[in-house]
Structure 1
């Protein structure tokens, strides 16, 4: 298999998908007007190391736990329409190059699946590997995570699990593998592929990319 893997937030898109979702819901009265500020505060706590990825997931998902699955799907469709004009042409072109090369294009993101599905579809990606949100017996989201989040060192396990379900070779045995990311938390997966690419990298990832001679993209 020839594989092109893409992170989402600040990589394929130059913004945070969870924040965009929260802002869009608040603008429509689905969430309180102060929901974006509360989400931003949680993101800042995460960046400062005082909040973990599970807490960040709850901040995105728990406020909509009351929505039934049909309503959530309707909102996701409206969100997709709103996000389409915000997708960078450069990201579309990047994905298109990998499509033309015959690579299997996969979004690999820590964001929850129902948000990841929106962007995977908009970019025309073949598959999605994301953090799986728990649901109750009625299909409502609970705010909790099933298994490990698709984040940091867990991303490799998620990718390997996905490859196994495709009856494909392990990542190390793929004929070609590339991964695009902005964050140092993704270093384990970046180090595991043949072609690691830093996109608008944070300070630590930029230092690692320069030291290792990895390609750096700024747009």
Structure 2
């Protein structure tokens, strides 16, 4: 895939924030990466299976999600000593699965993403995945120069762990700390991103879980678009 070169964003241009998973990418990119890290050896796979009764419920609940994800990352990365080494593993994963990953990029989403860039908007990706993962995948479609904020991962007890999860209110806080304020448009699929969507002047819900559509309609402005950009198992209206 490729896309024409985009002009640099104007300093006074509208700020547009995209989530990544289920928004630009059909699926949970971080989970796919962590599963690959764990499956690299039988003992990591066994350790993950034994830990799942504890870590699985932690991932399912917002207050403990960071700890659950960090546990799986730690199991998959035991022996990795630095963020640079971890990023090299991410790049190795992306290159080894290039065709499968590229097939998960949503064409409608990428066209909207590129349209904002062609207009000169300030576009940033804010994701719960490691930022190197999103950057590497966006490189498939010549968007690797877009700023990416993601979960901060660092050394922890012989492996790597999530130090700061780019998720829920923390995602908005990380955007503000990086100088991204006054969000004009935000795109996300998840109720975990309601702080991001409500902070935007124009929220757009894309490919939400069907069970969450009513909640989005209840808490967001009545004219909020709720669209499906190509995730077959998800809700939302077909784009015009």
Structures share a fold, TM > 0.5? Answer: yes
The Cα shift of 1:179 comes to 0.8
The Cα shift of 1:98 comes to 1.1
Matched residue SS, 1:157? helix
* Equivalent residue for 1:66, pick from 73, 79, 83: 79
What is the CA–CA distance in structure 2 between the aligned matches of 1:133 and 1:121, rounded to whole Å? 21
Query: Where in structure 2 are the equivalents of 1:1-219 lying within 5 Å?
Result: 1-26=13-38, 28-29=40-41, 32-33=44-45, 42-43=55-56, 45-47=58-60, 49=61, 52-63=64-75, 64-69=77-82, 71-81=85-95, 82=97, 83-122=101-140, 124=143, 126-135=146-155, 142-145=160-163, 148-163=164-179, 171-172=181-182, 177-202=184-209, 205-211=212-218, 212=221, 213-219=223-229
Matched residue SS, 1:111? coil
Cα distance change, pair 92–37 in 1 and its aligned pair in 2 (3 A): farther
State the partner residue of 2:8.
none
Gaps of 5+ in 1: 164-169
- If the length of structure 1 is used for normalisation, what is the TM-score? 0.76
Equivalent pairs counted in the alignment come to 205
The Cα shift of 1:30 comes to 8.4
The Cα shift of 1:193 comes to 1.0
What is the root-mean-square deviation in Å for CA atoms of aligned residues? 3.1
- If the length of structure 2 is used for normalisation, what is the TM-score? 0.70
Q: Which piece of structure 1 moves more, 149-158 or 26-35?
A: 26-35
CA contact (8 A) 1:12 1:91 kept: yes
What is the CA–CA distance in structure 2 between the aligned matches of 1:52 and 1:159, rounded to whole Å? 22
CA contact (8 A) 2:33 2:93 kept: yes
The Cα shift of 1:43 comes to 4.9
